[in-house]
Amino acid sequence: MADIVLSTLNAKYIHASFGLRYLLANLGELRDRACLLEFDINQRPLEIVEILLAQNPKIIGLGVYIWNVTETAEIVDALKRLRPDITIVLGGPEVSFESEQQRIVQLADYVITGEADLKFAEVCGQLLSGEKPVSKMIPAELPDLARLVLPYDLYSENDIAHRIIYIEASRGCPFTCEFCLSSLDVPVRQIPLPLLLEKMQQLLDRGLRQFKFVDRTFNLNLNTSRAILEFFLERLQPGLFVHFEMIPDRLPEALRELIARFPAGVLQFEVGIQTFDVAVSKNISRRQDYAKLADNFGFLRAETGVHIHADLIVGLPGETLESFAAGFDRLVALRPQEIQVGILKRLRGTPIIRHDRAFQMIYSADPPYEILQNGLIDFPAMQKMRRFARYWDLIGNSGNFVETTPLLWSASGSPFTGVMRLSEWMFAKIGRQHSIALVRLAELLFQFLTIELAMEPRFAAEVMWRDWQRTGRTEKPNFLGDFVSNQDVQAARAKQLAPKRQARHLSAS
């Protein structure tokens, strides 16, 4: 039983809620009266309600995000019908902006907007002592990060063994990209570095090997970046994997020297490029030095073992299909191991709405609020781009077809043209983008190469067989039966390698 229950619906089980752990860690004297219950969006809302009510709580705090707001609203509705005496307190980015008309806000008792690390404890203290906050909407002041209790001891042994563990060295972002909520959080604030390093050592001692930093601009503060990289460099061990979000055009020599000393497969950089069009960058208030960006990519690919995950966005104001295609081709030429093609989302509170009239931006009214069309890309074309993004993720990003993927544009010379041609062909062929078994996907890819592109079958088969083995598979798929001998299969089984996704990309670099 607990007086305070903290809960949320994660997108997947492997995601451990960082925000809820911060709230629990900072409850002070109320911490012993609270518990944390995590769910995921695939669980039935009424079953979640049953588990929450079994705690017989007085207060339920719910973290609300773009991926769970629909399901969480259903849960809040049931809770208030069954136990109207329980106080529901909401928090999270999805209810921190433009919240007046939201059904979930209307159902709840209170909403804390902004960073609620300390404010939640204050509100709970009021409620449990019989006081009522003066307003339903409770803005939280930016907390002094030096005052926060860091939440890393709240990751359980099971979390460390089976889930993604999030770390932060700073909060905020110095940039003002209009599609991003971080543009509203301009001051960049640092977690006290000695304390953070102490907590990371404790996680290492407990067996954690994969660290995912959530800082929006990890390489902004050179001293902090160097200290954290040096920390991991001095503690290299099998299985260590560290993920950072990086500013693509900022990689000074001091960082380069450190990065180059890491073995392949330890570091992953998520690099948000979003667009290569200068006018579009200006429209969304994004500053980017493309020459430095290209130079940094060249260094990372030629002189380090860093795995690069780069982002582009479809649907930005002023971006045409032609300019996006040119940007996609330009990014492929820089050779990141993964390119995430995202569809623009109109997140609540972001200033990108100022372009709605000029660029005729029309978004879905439902989460995740993706753009449906604009004045330059109509709805049918935007649907094609959704399929493009999905098929690219299955084939270009998965690590299953590292050598095969470049064959798609070997004739046209344009990666965008080649992938779009595959996308249109595949959708016409099977009429879906999801629930495609890997062997079926591989067979379709082989058919496209050999029939649609008229590629010599034996050559395509040899390339695809190498990719098939790279994924750790040794069985001979039927569609390659005429081109792969039993001796080839026996040789593949002798290797029996099953590298992780990053390693599959790396092995073909």
Model-level pTM? 0.91
Residue 488 amino acid letter = D
The continuous run of DSSP H or E covering 239 comes out as: none
How do 362-363 and 210-213 pair as beta strands?
unpaired
Query: Coil, helix or strand for 194?
Result: helix
Per the rule left: phi > 0, alpha: psi between -120 and 50, beta: everything else, 221 is beta
pLDDT in tens, the chain (509 residues): 899 999 999 999 999 999 999 999 999 999 999 999 999 999 999 999 999 999 999 999 999 999 999 999 999 999 999 999 999 999 999 999 888 889 999 999 999 999 999 999 999 999 999 999 999 999 999 999 999 999 999 999 999 999 999 999 999 887 778 778 766 665 789 999 999 999 999 999 999 999 999 998 888 888 999 999 999 999 999 999 999 999 888 899 999 999 999 999 999 999 999 999 999 999 998 889 999 999 999 999 999 999 999 999 999 999 999 999 999 999 999 999 999 999 999 988 888 999 999 999 999 999 999 999 999 999 999 999 999 999 999 999 999 999 999 999 998 999 999 999 999 999 999 999 999 999 999 999 999 999 999 999 999 999 999 999 888 887 889 999 889 876 766 676 666 543 455 555 555 55
- Contact between residue 484 and residue 461 where contact means Cβ atoms under 8 Å apart: yes
Which residue ranges form the domains of the chain, and what is each CATH number? 4-145 (3.40.50.280), 164-377 (3.80.30.20), 401-509 (no CATH)
